[in-house]
Structure 1
Amino acid sequence: MTNHQMILGMHLGNGYGSQSSAWRAPGVDPANYSSFDAQVRYAQTAERGKFAFLFLPDFPGLQADVDHEAPSMTLEPMMTLAAIARATERIGLVATGSTSFTEPFNLARQFKALDVMSHGRAGWNAVTTSDPAAAANFGQALASRPDRYQRAHETIQIAQALWGSWEQDAWIKDKKTGRFADPEKIQAVNMQGGHVASRGPLPIPPSEQGQPVIFSAGGGANGLEIAGRYANGVIGATFTIDDARAQRQAYRDAAATAGRNPDEITFFAGVMPAIGKTKRAALDRRVQLAELTAASRVPYLGSMLNLHLDPSQLDEPLTAQQLAVAAPSPFDPRSPRALEVAREGWTLRDILAHGVIDYHPTPVGEASVTADHMQEWFEAGACDGFWVSIDVNEDGIDTFVDEVVPLLQERGIYHHDYDGTTLRDHLHAPAQYGLDPRLGDSTS
């Protein structure tokens, strides 16, 4: 048994759920893509489960086969979180914001306004954007990778400096003396980088947590450096305990290299639970969701197993001859799990229903199966917590909160209530206001 407790975040995307066909699921209003009321309802359920934060990925454009699938992102993350902020009290509010196409003053202003509105619950997942179609939406060509990451460093540093441009006691608001604020304590930042710049100051005083928390979800050496220098929360993408341990340690090492305490980084592994009263019921739920997409995924499943598979075999298991020559692809880390499931004798449709092509591990079965998976990873030191991606939000978030959360609480690895009021409190992140004084300023 561990002597500490896991931290949970909830993936909140398009108003339907993480499965591309969730909009067609029973009981789901197909108009939820544009329903802020639905997003608020899901957020309130996650808060009932004492989740530390909601996490809203984003992509600056339309990225979906809308003939049959809903876009995976919310209409606009900051507007969504503003609506949620007014209807919740404790849960953190984390959104992705691209450093590639947004000026640092705009990012700083939006996220700090959300932070003040929510009384210190905002977080910024600072990412670069590498899609040429996204660049075209801003009338630009895609910059080189080194330029994108240099701009990211500059943008984050300028945003943090702007966040600290009001000293914490600058706002006087004394009606008797008539002094609203002390102008000597509200200063321009005057930062100039090779890609972006800002004079400042920002017209926003500090929140209860001072300023928003930085998150990171990028990979590779550049992503590690961004996280190591600035982030307190990291969203990982791993499929085995060993890989998760290695990824978590890499981020901790990056923090140490930047002169920070590695414990300042909280690493979240992803999980995409398939929950049912039985394993067969959980699989049937996923089979129904994949009704229109399963056949199109068979060829890719074949590439994962180094086999030529045809959709005509969708409702049959692999033959003895196929199993004899099947081997996991070295190019997809999900392949060993796909082969493991295939060897259990499931049909191709059921293999896919096990989530072997999903972008995080998928425990399948009763709520205890998901709780066991999370406990095993957590106690093995593979993560500090999880970001949970629910298949169908309409009923799946309630199921997780009502069935999985109590099991984690009974096992002593998840809290029964919030310990604080801000996102920094939830993450046990250190106080910070303005730029981190331990980091050199590369923008001036």
Structure 2
Amino acid sequence: MTRQLHLGLFIQETGHHIAGWREPGAAADAARSFRSQVELAQLAEAACFDLVFIQDSYAMRGANDVDALQHSARAIHWDPLTALAALAMVTERIGLIGTATTTYNEPYSVARSFASLDHISAGRAGWNLVTSNNEAEALNFSRDSHAVHSDRYARAAEFLQVVKGLWDTWEDDAFLQNKATGQFFDPGKLHVLDHKGEHFAVKGPLTQARPPQGHPVLVQAGSSAAGKQLGATTADVIFTAQQRLADAQGFYADMKRLAAAAGRDPAQLLIMPGLLPVVAGTQEAAEEKFRQLQALVLPKVGLATLATTLGEVDLSGYDLDGPLPELPPANGPQSRRQLLVDMARRDNLSIRQLYERVVGARGHLTVVGTPAQVADVMQQWLEEGAADGFNIMPAHLPVGLADFTEQVVPELQRRGLFRRRYEGHTLREHLGLARPAHPHGR
């Protein structure tokens, strides 16, 4: 049987292209109108996507450059857990992935929230674990500075250990609910964590039953050395930015190798790069569609987007048509910053040319072409060891998603590369991931 792709919808406000909100068919109020989010989730579910994915940040990116920010739809966004709990009520099968940082949260709160979402959605929840690469978040949590990269990952590793321990507070059959005897639960199947570590002291127990999936699906997106190690040892899904097939193949092989070295089955770690598709009936029409989107980008917005993606670097004093300067050290995004720097040096890009590549997909793969051409790229990456699936990042919403579901998904189905109907009900079942056994289960 042909191996099939996994597909996620990465929802970002009005779309991933920084000027996508200005496209005539875009829902410019998508960050204020929840009806738009419902439409997107239901459209993705009708196409049998594995999941929808909502990112988060606890601070406005680029807030120091209000002159540029006022022209962007990035100023506001939904709280993922609130939005996903609501989406669980208007969907039935599609997985629901939300972002929660380990840098500005506490393990008990995160464990309870995602356990609750898994119950509310009947086993469709997933947690995108991040360590916060937005340095401005510190200022919203009574801190003067952002924790350094290595410390953030050390905290994240212990944070995750605590969360998993809390999810295993109760065995699956702990609740007897015996009305005749009056016994609600079996105390022998309650396990108090009583964690004491370098970063956290958490007694427990968790005031929520074990999640239907055992543990909600764990997604991790770090591609630095520390991020890769954390993902390989703990994650179910890796969300990564890859531009070229060879680089994606190298990352894929490395993550599978690291998973095997950690004693895991590499098939239980799925690699899903981001993909921004621009689709039309002909190559020329797709290129024109993309050109029109690019023409909507104001230079100051393009420059500000690049500066933010590089970690709030000040590029205002440099010639837009000159080369990217040597960048000072930063405590924000590491792997994405290096990807863009490498791209600029490799392709001899000016600052303007670099931001033109960034305003669409922030360093993720962009494919402009016919449905068959987009499907060709996806099939090649699947069959040549570069991806297990893709997180689809429509340039503008809902039109960009509709283009993909109406044109590319049928082409993938015709090739036997994507499902025509859901076979399972939980997100783990969609992704082919095993349900974690309880460590104390009998």
| Superposition pairs of residues 46-195 of structure 1, within 5 angstroms | 46-64=44-62, 65-71=68-74, 74-140=77-143, 141-195=145-199
Decide whether aligned partners of structure 1 residues 422 and 279 sit closer, same or farther in structure 2, where only a CA change above 3 A counts: same
Identity of aligned residues (%): 35
* Equivalent residues of 1:56, 1:74 under 8 A apart: no
Decide whether aligned partners of structure 1 residues 406 and 130 sit closer, same or farther in structure 2, where only a CA change above 3 A counts: closer
> Residue 45 of structure 1 is aligned with which of 43, 46, 51?
43
Could you tell me which residue of structure 2 aligns to residue 34 of structure 1?
Answer: 32
Are positions 1:398 and 2:402 aligned together?
yes
* Equivalent residues of 2:16, 2:361 under 8 A apart: no
Name which of structure 1's ranges 377-386 and 159-168 shifts more when overlaid on structure 2: 377-386
Name which of structure 1's ranges 176-185 and 92-101 shifts more when overlaid on structure 2: 176-185
AA at the equivalent of 2:433: A
What is the CA–CA distance in structure 2 between the aligned matches of 1:338 and 1:380, rounded to whole Å? 24
Question: 1:86-111 deviations in whole A, cap 9, x for unaligned?
Answer: 11111111111111110000110111
Could you tell me which residue of structure 1 aligns to residue 364 of structure 2?
Answer: 360
What is the CA–CA distance in structure 1 between the aligned matches of 2:254 and 2:149, rounded to whole Å? 21
SS in 2 for 1:259: coil
Per-residue deviation, 1:211: 2.0
What is the CA–CA distance in structure 2 between the aligned matches of 1:287 and 1:338, rounded to whole Å? 20
Name which of structure 1's ranges 83-92 and 72-81 shifts more when overlaid on structure 2: 72-81
SS in 1 for 2:86: helix
> Residue 220 of structure 1 is aligned with which of 218, 224, 228?
224
SS in 2 for 1:229: helix
Per-residue deviation, 1:338: 6.3
Could you tell me which residue of structure 1 aligns to residue 313 of structure 2?
Answer: none
* Equivalent residues of 2:257, 2:266 under 8 A apart: yes
Per-residue deviation, 1:357: 7.1
Equivalences, count: 406
SS in 2 for 1:34: coil
Per-residue deviation, 1:3: 2.6
SS in 1 for 2:31: helix
Per-residue deviation, 1:282: 2.3
Per-residue deviation, 1:34: 1.4
Could you tell me which residue of structure 2 aligns to residue 431 of structure 1?
Answer: 435
Decide whether aligned partners of structure 1 residues 175 and 289 sit closer, same or farther in structure 2, where only a CA change above 3 A counts: farther
Question: 1:5-36 deviations in whole A, cap 9, x for unaligned?
Answer: 1111110121x111112222213343221122
AA at the equivalent of 1:70: A
Decide whether aligned partners of structure 1 residues 198 and 72 sit closer, same or farther in structure 2, where only a CA change above 3 A counts: same
Per-residue deviation, 1:294: 5.4
Question: 1:331-375 deviations in whole A, cap 9, x for unaligned?
Answer: 6444599689x9xxxxx99x9489887422211122222111111
* Equivalent residues of 1:235, 1:268 under 8 A apart: yes
Question: 1:287-321 deviations in whole A, cap 9, x for unaligned?
Answer: 333334254559999xxxxxx7759xxxxxxxxxx
What is the CA–CA distance in structure 2 between the aligned matches of 1:309 and 1:132, rounded to whole Å? 25
TM-score (norm 2): 0.84
Decide whether aligned partners of structure 1 residues 253 and 391 sit closer, same or farther in structure 2, where only a CA change above 3 A counts: same
TM-score (norm 1): 0.84
* Equivalent residues of 2:357, 2:363 under 8 A apart: no
* Equivalent residues of 1:10, 1:53 under 8 A apart: yes
Please identify runs of 4+ aligned residues in structure 1 that moved more than 3 A. Answer: 174-178, 294-301, 308-311, 329-340, 351-358, 433-437
Structure 2, unpaired ranges of 5+: 63-67, 307-318, 323-337
Could you tell me which residue of structure 2 aligns to residue 13 of structure 1?
Answer: 12
What is the CA–CA distance in structure 1 between the aligned matches of 2:403 and 2:223, rounded to whole Å? 32
* Equivalent residues of 1:52, 1:92 under 8 A apart: yes
What is the CA–CA distance in structure 2 between the aligned matches of 1:182 and 1:36, rounded to whole Å? 41
SS in 2 for 1:362: strand
* Equivalent residues of 1:97, 1:124 under 8 A apart: yes
Could you tell me which residue of structure 2 aligns to residue 315 of structure 1?
Answer: none
Question: 1:150-183 deviations in whole A, cap 9, x for unaligned?
Answer: 1111100000000010111112223344332223
Could you tell me which residue of structure 2 aligns to residue 285 of structure 1?
Answer: 289
- Larger Rg belongs to: 1
